[in-house]
Amino acid sequence: MATSFFNPQLRLLNALRAGVKPVMTFLGLPSFRTAQIVAQTGVDGVIIDCEHGNINDDAMHSSTAAIAAMGVSPLVRLRMTHPDLIKRALDAGAHGIVVPMINTAEEARAVVAHAKFPPQGLRGQGSAFPAIAHGIDLPTYIKTANDTLITCVQIETKLGVENVDAICAVPGVDMIFIGPNDLALSVLGYVPAKGDEPEFIDAIEKIVAAARRHGKWVSRLSNNGALCKEHLKVFDTVALSYDIRAIQNWYTSELQVARSL
């Protein structure tokens, strides 16, 4: 992602390029206000979860706008690799996409093709919204999008790990994201992983090594601040938990205090 164009609105991308270890989180609730609240906490990026979260197309649009307006980078995790979903996320103004369950280089190449404008890709143009979310005019957006949007693919299966080197070699893939729960299900047959299973550790190490070999950023989910701090010793960025889990954990913890004798 080498380009001379610098856009101060692209908080996550700029932090990654500077090597300052940005922190993201996941948004699963379909609320403009929740998006605002999460974005003002100090995170650098918010992944709007259209795969497992309760986020439809309308909520994705409003959340993207709300997060970008707070000076934070909205990314959209798609529910699958379909070109229309890539187009909708980017046309909403996402600063990047996160695509789950990528198992082959062919799948990665297809994602890149539909995330890039011609001549590098096949993406069509027809929306004014992305330029707004990037804080620039539309001609500048079209000219610079191919070099400033983050295309992130998730590796979270045995097959993905087997093909990780070929996936990481695909031009236009900028970041690899490890989904530890799905990876554990595929590799170990259960969740959550205890974290010390040799097969699980080996899979993560293979993914990180391949990403480094091909000059890709690499990221993962971290369940709490302590793990986040530990993971950032290895990873370029992490996603710190999830809005839904944060609410559940706070109420569970505080209710235990309130009801303790």
Point out the residues that are catalytic: 52
- The β-bridge partners of 151 are 97
Cβ count near 103 (within 10 Å)? 19
Exposed / middle / buried, residue 226 (Cβ in 10 Å: 0-12, 13-18, 19+) = exposed
Cis, peptide link before residue 180, omega less than 30° from 0: no
39 token code pair: 């974005």
Question: Of 155, 125, 153, which Cα lies nearest the Cα of 141?
Answer: 125
Location of structure tokens 């839904």: 244
CA distance 228 to 219: 11
- What is residue 243's three-state secondary structure? helix
Q: What count of other Cβ atoms lies within 10 Å of the Cβ of residue 132? A: 17
Q: How far is CA 223 from CA 59, 180, 195, 210, 239, in A?
A: 25, 10, 13, 24, 8
